[in-house]
Amino acid sequence: MATQIGCDGTMRALLDTNVLTNLHHKPTRLGKATQRSLRDARALYFSPLTFFEWLQKDDYLGTSTKMLAEATIKFGIEELPLTAQAALEARRFGSLRGSDPLDYLILAQAAEAGLYLYTADSKLLGLDLDFVKDSSE
């Protein structure tokens, strides 16, 4: 498993759907420390599940998923593929069974890849995992 901090001392992180949405629409919703961490990060990643979530909300967001996806890639945020190993990693988070399966899988992706996960999701933050970071801070 990789580590959240690169050997050069810089951070690597997966951005939850709510963080990417705020990054595009309302960056002021991200806390100052989060903004600084994201700006200084060595590598930022998105899950393809985020694009799927956006597809479900195209009308609600007021922006097309295609435009959000293109902007995400233009920002230099890299795709973190959902692997079978990451899906199996979800077993670690049994308390999330029955909740939003996409959140469950995004959490498992971050855990399996050894990345911080920036989120505003209270259920994920409530797990008290050291690699899950509150994006409002």
Q: What is the DSSP letter of 113?
A: H
For domain 12-134, the question of CATH label 3.40.50.1010 is answered with: yes
What are the pLDDT digits (tens) for 95-136? 666 677 888 899 999 999 999 999 999 999 999 999 999 999
DSSP sequence for 41-83: -SEEEE-HHHHHHHHHTHHHHTS-HHHHHHHHHHTTPEE----
What are the pLDDT digits (tens) for 59-104? 665 668 888 899 999 989 999 999 999 989 888 887 666 677 888 8
What is the arrangement of strands in the sheet containing 116-119, beginning at the earlier edge strand?
Answer: 78-79, 43-46, 12-15, 116-119, 132-134
Phi, psi at 43, each rounded to 5°? -150, 135
* Domain ranges within the chain, ordered by starting residue: 12-134
